[in-house]
Amino acid sequence: MNSNGDKIVWVNFFCDHGGLDWTNVIIGADDGGNCYAHITVNLTNGSCNDILVNGYS
């Protein structure tokens, strides 16, 4: 929840979890690669924010 009481969900998309237990830890990309994205969704008002799609640099 945010400070307004809205329900917020952070969604990660990735092709390879690198052996990490993605069900219990947050997986993020440090830099580059073409197989990671995330988005923040406000379930209360239906908005999508913080959209990030990694790509090769």
Does residue 3 form part of some domain? no
Does residue 1 form part of some domain? no
- What pLDDT, on the 0 to 100 scale, is given for residue 1? 92
Does residue 42 form part of some domain? yes
pLDDT one-digit tens code per residue, 3-12? 999 999 999 8
Does residue 20 form part of some domain? yes
pLDDT one-digit tens code per residue, 21-57? 888 988 777 765 678 888 999 999 999 999 988 876 6
Does residue 41 form part of some domain? yes
Token digits of residue 32:
């580059």
* Residue 35 domain boundaries: 8-53
Does residue 2 form part of some domain? no
Does residue 26 form part of some domain? yes
Does residue 32 form part of some domain? yes
Please state the domain count of the chain.
Answer: 1
- What pLDDT, on the 0 to 100 scale, is given for residue 7? 98
Name residues whose C-beta falls within 8 Å of residue 24's C-beta, 6 or more positions apart in sequence: none
Q: At residue 10, what is the residue type?
A: W
- What pLDDT, on the 0 to 100 scale, is given for residue 20? 84
- What pLDDT, on the 0 to 100 scale, is given for residue 32? 59
